[in-house]
Amino acid sequence: MTIFRLFFILLIVCSYFSCGIFTPRDEFEDPLVDDTEEDYFNFSKLLSGTGEEFSKLDWYELFDDGFKYTNVRSANIDHSKSDFINHLSQQQEVFPDYSVSWEKKESPLRNIDTITLNNVWYYIREPEVSDSVLFSGKSAFVIVRDDGFVWRITRWTDDPNDALFFSPGE
């Protein structure tokens, strides 16, 4: 019985070493990246020109856990990350083909772990009608880098024009 156990252990050890999991690699293997993320609201444009980029455009990763959204026209009520993400999902369903563009009127203010964007205009247009702006406004963003060097939106102050688009619960 002990010879059988010894043979079985030897067989398992040989199989581990023969599959190459303990041998060093010459090339680094890139992690799998999910390229299916869509940037419906064009959030990647916010960091353009800063030399930085968001690592993921998934809304749960894009917004910081302490995220706050404020519409200055609605008594400065703060909306949490989950409320805001639910609202974004609803807007995407209601306006599935609309396009969002951002235009920065000022240079970003930066330090090591924070980028502040003031006076950023947004325009939401109908599909295939470039001059038909349905929603517009001016926003300010505070974007922070966490310990894992991932950039996240932590604060969004919105000053929409007449019609509201980004503001939840309105």
50 by Cβ neighbours in 10 Å (0-12 / 13-18 / 19+) ranks as middle
Instruction: Decide if 23 is inside a domain.
Output: no
Q: Can you give the CATH number for the domain in which 62 is found?
A: 3.10.450.50
Instruction: Decide if 146 is inside a domain.
Output: yes
Instruction: Decide if 100 is inside a domain.
Output: yes
Instruction: Decide if 60 is inside a domain.
Output: yes
Instruction: Decide if 17 is inside a domain.
Output: no
pLDDT confidence band for 130 (50 / 70 / 90): low
Instruction: Decide if 66 is inside a domain.
Output: yes
- CA pair distance 49, 103, nearest whole angstrom: 12
Percentage of the chain beyond pLDDT 70 is: 81
Number of separate domains in the chain: 1
Burial 123-147 (b: 16+ CB within 10 A, else e): bbbeeeeeeeeebbbbbbbbbbeee
Instruction: Decide if 33 is inside a domain.
Output: no
- Residue range 32-44: mean pLDDT, rounded: 69
Q: 125: domain range?
A: 43-160
- Residue range 32-36: mean pLDDT, rounded: 44
- CA pair distance 166, 71, nearest whole angstrom: 9
Per-residue pLDDT of 53-112, as tens digits, reads 888 889 999 999 999 999 888 876 788 899 999 999 999 999 888 989 999 999 999 988
Beta-sheet pairing, 114-125 with 99-104: antiparallel
